[in-house]
Chain A
Amino acid sequence: GAGVSQTPSNKVTEKGKYVELRCDPISGHTALYWYRQSLGQGPEFLIYFQGTGAADDSGLPNDRFFAVRPEGSVSTLKIQRTERGDSAVYLCASSPRLNTEAFFGQGTRLTVV
């Protein structure tokens, strides 16, 4: 598969629990993005990696959200003490270089009950 892969595709968790969402970008893509999409809305920016470092994390809503990309490839979005308002589809995208399009994965649908 040559596309962006996200796992799991669906995640149901209880309020207060910790979750990890994984993104496997297209091989060789240096830029990686996380977005959150609520029902009926456009994707909302969370964080952007260039290589291993977070180049822009201004979209993370609070300190319960954290993301890593330790080897410059796979990324994990971590959410602590989940709340019902965190329920959304979390989209990951990667890009081969600056100033070009991003390629999106299918998303992880997170439901907090």
Chain B
Amino acid sequence: AQSVTQLDSQVPVFEEAPVELRCNYSSSVSVYLFWYVQYPNQGLQLLLKYLSGSTLVKGINGFEAEFNKSQTSFHLRKPSVHISDTAEYFCAVSDSGNQFYFGTGTSLTVIP
């Protein structure tokens, strides 16, 4: 079974500053990687995904992430955050078993 580690439980950042949310997973076998965002009292919304191909993937709302196989990481970045980016962010991994394994989440708070 996979395990997913999101090292930062809370990340405060000033508006218009860059941000990186870290994600590491346990296995280097073929995996599919995802970042989801969850706004208060809502379900999970897909931000971006890595299935194959280019290791740099771009998602919605100006977010991007880079798959690093040697470091088993899939960190999420945004060059300039907005107040509306305040939310909970979850990294998820899926392998051949087709189950999705989630991290514990990172709470991003954008400070005006």
Please indicate whether A and B come from the same complex rather than being unrelated chains.
yes
**Total chain A interface residues with beta-carbon distance under 8 A:** 27
The interface size bin for chain B is: 20 to 34
Minimal Cβ-Cβ distance residue in B for A98:
B98
The B contact surface, by secondary structure, is strand
Residue of B43, B49, B99, B105 near A56 (CB, 8 A) is B99
The total number of A-B Cβ pairs within 8 Å is 58
| Chain A CB within 8 A of B51 CB | yes
- Given the known inter-chain contacts A43-B44, A91-B44, please indicate yes or no for A102 contacting B100, CB distance below 8 A: yes
Minimal Cβ-Cβ distance residue in B for A105:
B43
Tell me whether B51 and A100 are in contact (CB under 8 A): yes
- A16-35 vs B, CB cutoff 8 Å, 1 = contact: the mask equals 00000000000000010101
Which residues of B are at the interface with A, using a C-beta cutoff of 8 A?
Answer: 4, 32, 34, 36, 42-46, 49, 51, 90, 94, 96-105
A-B contacts, 30 of them at CB < 8 A, read A31-B98, A35-B102, A40-B104, A40-B105, A41-B104, A41-B105, A42-B90, A42-B102, A42-B104, A43-B102, A44-B102, A48-B99, A50-B98, A56-B98, A56-B99, A59-B99, A91-B43, A93-B100, A99-B51, A99-B98, A100-B49, A101-B34, A101-B46, A101-B49, A104-B36, A104-B43, A104-B44, A105-B43, A106-B42, A106-B43
